[in-house]
Amino acid sequence: MYVTLFNEFAPATIVSVPSRQQNGAAGSPSRKSQGAGAHLFREGDAAASIYEIVSGVFRLTRVLGNGRRQVIAFGFPGDTIGFPKGACHHTDCEAITAAEVIVHRRNALDTVDGDHETHQRLLNAALREISAMQDHFMMLARKSAKEKMASFLVTLAERNGTPIGGYTSCSLPMSRADIADFLGLTVETVSRTLTRLRKENMIALENPQTVLIRDMRALISASQVSE
3 domain-assigned? no
5 domain-assigned? no
Domain residue limits at 109: 19-141
Domain's final residue, options 105, 126, 141: 141
Q: Domain check: are 34 and 128 in the same one?
A: yes
Domain's final residue, options 122, 141, 160: 141
pTM of the predicted model, to two decimals?
Answer: 0.81
61 domain-assigned? yes
Q: Domain check: are 120 and 160 in the same one?
A: no
User: Would the pLDDT of 109 be above 80?
Assistant: no
Q: Domain check: are 125 and 207 in the same one?
A: no
Confidence grade of residue 15 (pLDDT, cut at 50, 70, 90): low
What was the pLDDT predicted at 9?
37
Dist CA 116 CA 184 (whole Å): 39
Q: Domain check: are 159 and 120 in the same one?
A: no
What was the pLDDT predicted at 113?
58
The CATH number linked to 217 is 1.10.10.10
Q: Domain check: are 116 and 160 in the same one?
A: no
Domain's final residue, options 110, 141, 172: 141
Crossing angle of helices 187-199/176-183, nearest 10°?
A: 100
Q: Domain check: are 122 and 149 in the same one?
A: no
What was the pLDDT predicted at 106?
79
User: Would the pLDDT of 213 be above 90?
Assistant: yes
212 domain-assigned? yes
- What is the pLDDT of the chain when averaged over all its residues? 83
Question: Higher pLDDT residue, 159 or 217?
Answer: 217
What was the pLDDT predicted at 112?
52
131 domain-assigned? yes
Q: pLDDT tens for residues 120-168? A: 777 776 667 666 666 666 667 678 999 999 999 998 998 889 999 999 9
79 domain-assigned? yes
- How many folded domains does the chain comprise? 2
What was the pLDDT predicted at 10?
40
Q: Domain check: are 121 and 135 in the same one?
A: yes
What was the pLDDT predicted at 5?
42
